[in-house]
Chains A and B, each alone.
Chain A
Amino acid sequence: GAGVSQSPSNKVTEKGKDVELRCDPISGHTALYWYRQSLGQGLEFLIYFQGNSAPDKSGLPSDRFSAERTGGSVSTLTIQRTQQEDSAVYLCASSAGQNEKLFFGSGTQLSVL
């Protein structure tokens, strides 16, 4: 695609429910990143993929968070048993290899009620 695509753009869920967030990176980009942004805050790193493997998942805040990437393309971030503190914008980015120029999607606004 022309850019990084994320879906859904907005997700409202109830506390305790599971959610899945999807990211379609730019075609051919081998590196994929998930970040989280709370209101008025910076970007908090969650997990990094190179191809289908995740060499750095140090930013995942708890074992309720997991992510996978298949076919070197689409990635899914899953949050189990959501909590109110999980409410944030979840941003996905991709890059052509390991470099500083990341291309971000518009994010998924997650609201946990």
Chain B
Amino acid sequence: QKEVEQNSGPLSVPEGAIASLNCTYSDRGSQSFFWYRQYSGKSPELIMSIYSNGDKEDGRFTAQLNKASQYVSLLIRDSQPSDSATYLCAVTENSGNTPLVFGKGTRLSVIA
């Protein structure tokens, strides 16, 4: 059974700080990694995808992948109250016919 683990939080950070969200996964064959943001009562929205080791930056968001250590993280710079949401990590492997496996999500609260 493939597992994706996230700290459920809540993770509280002050406005303007860096929020660091972490995710570990059990399947070494995993190849594709995604971060979704979900506001309360809304559906998940894709923020970033990452496929190779290293960092990938998009605006205030940076995804970091370390396949050797089997973790993927999301950094949010200059955190804003509007970033307060649940962040879902999702992982898949490139072989077979299995869909994304989601973690349970980390609730982020940015305090103004």
Are A and B a genuine interacting pair, yes or no? no
Residues of A at under 8 Å CB distance from B?
none
Residues of B at under 8 Å CB distance from A?
none
